[in-house]
Amino acid sequence: MILIPAIDIIGGQCIRLTKGVYDTKTVYSDSPLEVAKRFEGAGITHLHLVDLDGARAKHIVNANILESIATKTSLQVDFGGGIKSAKDLQTAFDCGAAQVTLGSIAVSQPALVLEWLESYGGDQLILGADAKNRRIATHGWEQDSGIDVLVFVKDYVQKGFTNVLCTDVAKDGMLEGPSLELYKELLSTVDGISLIASGGVSTMDDVYACRELGCAAAVVGKAIYEGNIALKDLETYQLNQN
């Protein structure tokens, strides 16, 4: 299982939210690039980069940060936030994203997303399934789509998506453990899914629990920034993976 640190961007800063609420912002660094370099130095190979300004503005805002990290580190960057048009999607790839996560637009414009899936393929695109009370939340987690997360994921996987990043919004930033029951349900009922767990990871034990379930990857955010998981822990995990 791949361990993927997260960097969330607001105003050019590396921040974390609690349950996706913008008023809970905590700033951890003024230099996302330096944070990314520290992850790279610990042997990390992948990064989850979220443009929270873009998620609110409905278009990419922090493309320069994506480009900086993609060109000045060897990290494979999965980028999300504000992808609402073909231009946004191409901008993300032009700026060096290895993969792009599609969330809100997969709810609002499913036909367009399936066109992109046909053009780019399942390796480059990740379905973002952000769940709040089991329903898909959109637009920076501030809107409730009313769509059941299991129905949403199953439908898109049947149509060709394999990579699915599922975040339980209630767990995100809480450091109380990931949504293991939800992930277990997804893995047991959706054939062909490559599940990326996100939200709530508080210790390395949580990381191993996600791995035991059969998750393909786990995103870790606040636990690193708060010191619950040290860079040395990341390094040890990577060494044991090789």
What is the pTM (predicted TM-score) of this model? 0.94
Question: What is the pLDDT, as a whole number, of residue 110?
Answer: 96
Active-site entry in 78, 130, 172, 233: 130
Question: What is the pLDDT, as a whole number, of residue 41?
Answer: 96
Question: What is the pLDDT, as a whole number, of residue 208?
Answer: 97
H/E run at residue 8: strand 2-10
Q: Confidence class of residue 26 from pLDDT cuts 50, 70 and 90?
A: very high
Active site residue 130: yes
Alpha-carbon distance 53 to 25, whole Å? 12
pLDDT in tens, 40-80: 999 999 999 999 999 888 899 999 999 999 999 999 999 99
pLDDT in tens, 196-214: 999 999 999 999 999 999 9
If you classify domain 2-241 with CATH, what class do you get? alpha beta
Dihedral sign, Cα of residue 25, residue 109, residue 162, residue 64: negative
pLDDT in tens, 171-191: 776 678 999 999 999 999 999
Active site residue 51: no
The DSSP bridge partners found for residue 210 are none
Alpha-carbon distance 193 to 204, whole Å? 23
Q: Write down the domain spans for the chain.
A: 2-241
User: On the CB side of 22, how many CA atoms lie within 13 Å of its CA?
Assistant: 13
Res 226 pLDDT > 90 = yes
Active-site entry in 8, 78, 88, 206: 8
pLDDT in tens, 122-170: 999 999 999 988 999 887 667 888 999 999 999 999 999 999 999 988 7
Question: What is the pLDDT, as a whole number, of residue 141?
Answer: 67
Given a contact cutoff of 8 angstroms between Cβ atoms, the answer to whether 178 and 200 are in contact is yes
The DSSP bridge partners found for residue 13 are 10
Alpha-carbon distance 231 to 175, whole Å? 17
